[in-house]
Amino acid sequence: MTKINQYANWAIVDYRCDSLKLMTGEFESGVQRRSGMKSATFRQIKVFEAVARHLNYSHAAKELRLSQPAVSVHVKQLEEHAGLPLFEQLGKRIYLTPAGQQMLHYSRAIIQQIKEADEALAALKGIRGGLLNIAVISAGDYFFPGLVAEFCRRHEDVTVRLSVNNREEIVRQLVENTTDLTVLLRPPENPDMIAEAFAPQPHVIIAAPGHGLVRRKNISLQALTKEAFIVRERGSDTRLAMDELLAESRVRFNITMEIKSTETIKQAVIAGMGISFLSAHTIGRDLEAGRLSVLDVAGFPLMRKWHVVHHKNKRLPAVAVAFKQFLLQEGAALIERLVGRTKPKRKLRA
């Protein structure tokens, strides 16, 4: 019969073995063996969390900048400390075991506690020596490093952790609290997020300089429906802005290619494969070099706004507060200086 120790919350789950195995440890000859989790390292916990998040050793290794064998060793060591398998493999995929699910919950809590302690200590130091952890959508890749560089020139010894990705990934980082500030065109529709506009964002229709529409004036959206469009993927802020315009105008573009990379889209347009809807902030150098042309389309440039976003309950480090104020006060003027002025023809939309 399975027995319950009346002095502890341990249930014997295998009484047939010579060494009785329990949920929280092992008993040999009636002597408790202490849990090995006290020997687990923070490094092992961080590696495990990355593998559990991706459910892929290779992706975790790439994120952590470790070799895949090193990642496997860290996970194996943590499993030895836990005394239970944390992952199971079915075919080519891995899954969390029940023990792994529990470990993931506590691992994230530990990582968050360490992060908050680090932020609290950084706040005591002030801006100097602080860590600026920020994420921006890929459309900002063409000017955002310039903004960060200007901020760092004014504040010595600031360390920057900058993530550039599409909107879906940036919103995920906000929700999972892996970044302090994000810069987006369309803030998430989430009451827990604070979003403040700091600069206009014009969108235009671009084509190769030799395209037949380049010399035409006041082109209608309807006239563009016959053209081959090369566009950003669904879920990106640029694609959302385009889809919103098409829904309002009841027009449908002939989309022939969807590409995640803005740079690749530009190269395809330059090669004459079609035209595209892109942020004007991404094409300044190409216009100056004569590689691309902006079509004169009625109602364009289509204006949106850049927003700086963070969680309302987020305790921002001093350096993040300073950078947010920097964007709100000087972001618009600095972006114009970095990418060139675009004169809006339409009223700004939030």
Q: Where in the chain is the domain with CATH 3.40.190.10?
A: 126-199+305-339, 201-304
Tell whether the model's pLDDT for residue 14 goes beyond 70. Answer: no
Tell whether the model's pLDDT for residue 320 goes beyond 60. Answer: yes
Q: How many whole angstroms separate alpha carbon 274 and alpha carbon 254?
A: 10
Q: What is the pLDDT of residues 231-262, one digit of tens each?
A: 999 888 899 899 999 999 999 999 999 998 89
Residue spans of beta strands (DSSP E) within the chain: 12-14, 20-22, 25-28, 31-33, 87-90, 93-96, 131-137, 159-165, 181-184, 193-207, 228-231, 254-258, 276-279, 293-294, 302-311
Q: How many whole angstroms separate alpha carbon 263 and alpha carbon 291?
A: 13
List phi, psi (to 5°) of 13. Answer: -105, -10
Of 196, 203, 215, the C-alpha closest to 276 is 203
**Mean pLDDT for the chain?**
84
Q: How far is CA 146 from CA 69, 199, 212, 278, 288, in A?
A: 38, 15, 35, 20, 19
Q: What is the pLDDT of residues 324-340, one digit of tens each?
A: 999 999 999 999 888 86
Assigned fold of 126-199+305-339: D-Maltodextrin-Binding Protein; domain 2 (3.40.190)
Tell whether the model's pLDDT for residue 21 goes beyond 70. Answer: no
Other Cβ atoms within 10 Å of 16 Cβ, number: 5
Q: Quick one: CATH architecture of 201-304?
A: 3-Layer(aba) Sandwich (3.40)
Between residues 16 and 117, which one has the greater pLDDT? Answer: 117
Note the pLDDT of residue 181.
95
Query: What is the pLDDT confidence band of residue 135, given thresholds at 50, 70 and 90?
Result: very high
- Mean pLDDT, residues 200-222: 94
With residue 324 as reference, give the H or E element that holds it: helix 318-339
CATH 2.60.40.1170 fits 38-118, yes or no: no
Note the pLDDT of residue 307.
95
Q: What is the pLDDT of residues 29-73, one digit of tens each?
A: 333 444 578 889 999 999 999 999 999 999 999 999 999 999 999
Q: Where in the chain is the domain with CATH 1.10.10.10?
A: 38-118
